[in-house]
């Protein structure tokens, strides 16, 4: 039984592409609206009907617009707060929870939309809420789940784990070949370090945090700059790689990796942080770290 639970847990936390509705909320909401409206108008599922005020087509247009707004709000909350993931590590569990949240938002909004579109007499009861909720959820299920089904093959992608031997040797009294000089955007801040001292850099809004190892102690230094400009300043050092839109790492500091072509998670020497490799950078990373 415990083994079965471990297998389920392992599967749920596998990397998975983020739902299109969440990855691109506004475009996703527009596509969702078109799919939902087309499906309802063409097939009239679950005996949907016009309201007492408007024709069937106009009623469905307004209903679908209201529901699409609620879908957009839920998608924006998920995408901007990363409430189901950390540092961009989207998983199967994250995807399933986001689908549940979006469908719940749709079900609730459809119920309250009825107060605007139909007579509100006797609507304040559980049976009316349940009927409106489950009908709207069933109708919206296909356009909500469809983007995830397009990526279902990744749910069965095999994860790989590999450890690396650190080939960088810090010898006492040895001076590294070249000192790295980093300038801030305003040229008011300056940071210097040797290649073997650099672990990784992380973008934090308008700032970049450098994680260094000095005298066998972890040190963090913040510079006001963009991660792209820092990447350009470090371009002459082949051991440094931009593995994510927010991270640059020292490849020689990688202790292990876990994941697959959808993205890896790295353990680094000198710190306890887990750093993600994005899906877009996974292939390039595999070539450098086979």
Fold of 160-288: OB fold (Dihydrolipoamide Acetyltransferase, E2P) (2.40.50)
Q: pTM for the whole thing?
A: 0.64
CA dist 223 and 182 (Å) reads 9
Angle among Cα 147, 148, 151 to the nearest 5 degrees reads 100
Q: Where are the domains of the chain?
A: 2-156, 160-288
User: Residues in the chain, how many?
Assistant: 290
pLDDT values of the chain reduced to their tens digit, one per residue, 290 residues: 566 777 787 778 777 888 889 989 999 999 999 999 999 988 888 878 777 678 888 989 999 999 999 999 999 999 888 766 665 578 888 899 999 999 999 999 999 988 888 766 677 888 889 998 999 999 999 999 999 998 888 777 777 778 876 554 444 444 446 888 888 876 677 889 999 899 999 998 889 999 999 888 888 999 999 999 999 999 988 889 999 999 999 999 998 888 877 778 888 988 888 898 888 888 888 888 87
Close Cβ partners of 225 (under 8 Å, ≥ 6 residues apart): 182, 183, 184, 185, 206, 207, 208
Parallel, antiparallel, or unpaired for β 254-260 and 247-250? unpaired
């Amino acid at each position: 039984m415990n083994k079965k639970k471990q297998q389920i847990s392992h599967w749920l936390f596998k990397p998975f592409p983020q739902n299109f509705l969440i990855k691109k909320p506004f475009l996703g909401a527009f596509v969702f609206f078109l799919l939902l409206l087309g499906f309802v108008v063409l097939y009239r599922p679950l005996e949907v009907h016009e309201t007492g005020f408007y024709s069937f087509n106009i009623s469905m247009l307004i209903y679908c617009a209201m529901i699409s707004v609620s879908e957009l709000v839920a998608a924006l909350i998920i995408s901007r707060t990363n409430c189901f993931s950390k540092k961009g590590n989207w998983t199967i569990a994250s995807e399933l929870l986001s689908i549940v949240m979006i469908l719940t938002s749709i079900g609730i909004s459809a119920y309250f939309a009825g107060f605007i579109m139909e007579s509100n007499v006797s609507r304040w009861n559980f049976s009316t809420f349940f009927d409106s909720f489950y009908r709207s959820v069933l109708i919206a299920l296909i356009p909500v789940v469809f983007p995830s089904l397009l990526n279902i093959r990744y749910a069965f992608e095999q994860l790989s784990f590999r450890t690396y031997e650190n080939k960088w040797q810090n010898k006492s009294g040895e001076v590294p070949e070249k000192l790295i000089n980093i300038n801030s955007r305003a040229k008011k801040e300056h940071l210097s370090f040797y290649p073997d001292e650099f672990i990784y850099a992380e973008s934090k809004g308008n700032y970049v945090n450098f994680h260094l190892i000095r005298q066998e102690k972890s040190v963090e230094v913040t510079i006001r700059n963009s991660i792209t400009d820092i990447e350009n300043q470090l371009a002459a050092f082949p051991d440094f790689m931009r593995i994510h839109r927010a991270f640059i790492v020292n490849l020689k500091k990688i202790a292990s990796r876990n994941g697959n072509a959808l993205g890896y998670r790295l353990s680094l020497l000198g710190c306890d942080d887990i750093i993600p490799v994005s899906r877009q950078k996974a292939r390039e990373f595999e070539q450098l770290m086979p």
